[in-house]
Amino acid sequence: MTTRTVPLTDALYGYLAATLPPDPELLQELRTETARLGDIVRMQIAPEQARFMAVLVRLMAARRVLEVGTFTGYSTISMALAMPEDGRIVACDTSEAWTAIARRYWQAAGVAGKIDLRLAPARDTLAALRADGGDGTFDLSFIDADKDNQHHYYEQSLALLRPGGVVLVDNALWNGAVADPARQDANTVAIRALNAAVRDDPRVDPCLLPVGDGVLMACKR
């Protein structure tokens, strides 16, 4: 027994990865293609995080999902495959180049019909969804975008979620930087601020999970 999370050594991570079902071949190809983009591959979530999100989507029987930050579509496909045929994901991004890769793989995975890609600043898309009567209609929101706006994305997502809906925020541990007092760059400060704000938010039941780069999870009351 232990009173804290077990440190994830390379050997233990290898064991963890080996006990998970492997990604479908198509998702493995997408990860390989994304890796060729260089350092920005860091924007892609880890396979174990994708698996966690897919299981959560299936557990919730989620039919309406909001994704703020789509990149090359790995997380989108992982969630879409776990959704029923009438499920829909509103995917927010501003990059035509990255989402062009995503579109190819969505089509190949047979989930393109479940995905409504909005190429616009996420602030505008979220505002439009709310103006169109979207409040309280989404089951889950996954936020993986610019950190200076993430508190805004959280607030808008919370309004769009139904009671019992879940917000997931990626990079909540920021490669450990959040625990280093010397790190006072804008991104780290913004992540710390959101982590603290969600912890103290009476509208949600929060949880910070050491999965991937850290997943901040909040269930709307």
**Confidence label for 1 from pLDDT (cuts 50, 70 and 90):** low
Residue 168: closest CA among 202, 134, 124, 212? 212
Q: Tens digit of pLDDT for each residue in 72-86?
A: 999 999 999 999 999
Q: Tens digit of pLDDT for each residue in 34-62?
A: 999 998 888 899 999 999 999 999 999 99
Q: How far is CA 153 from CA 34, 87, 110, 125, 198, in A?
A: 25, 22, 29, 10, 12
Token pair of 170 as six digits = 């990626």
Q: Is the pLDDT of residue 112 over 90?
A: yes
In percent, the amount of the chain with pLDDT more than 90 equals 95
What is the residue extent of each domain of the chain?
A: 10-220
DSSP string, 168-210: EES-SSGGGGGG-TT---HHHHHHHHHHHHHHT-TTEEEEEE-
Q: Tens digit of pLDDT for each residue in 161-181?
A: 999 999 999 999 999 999 999
> What pLDDT score was predicted for residue 40?
85
Token pair of 34 as six digits = 């994304």
CATH assignment of 10-220?
Answer: 3.40.50.150
* Residue that has been written with the tokens 């602030």 in this structure: 123
What is the value of pTM for the model shown? 0.96
Q: Tens digit of pLDDT for each residue in 120-143?
A: 999 999 999 999 999 999 999 999
Q: Tens digit of pLDDT for each residue in 12-26?
A: 999 999 999 999 999
Burial class (CB within 10 angstroms; exposed 0-12, middle 13-18, buried 19+) of 11: exposed
Q: Is the pLDDT of residue 2 over 90?
A: no
- What's the rounded Cα separation, in Å, for the pair 44 and 100? 15
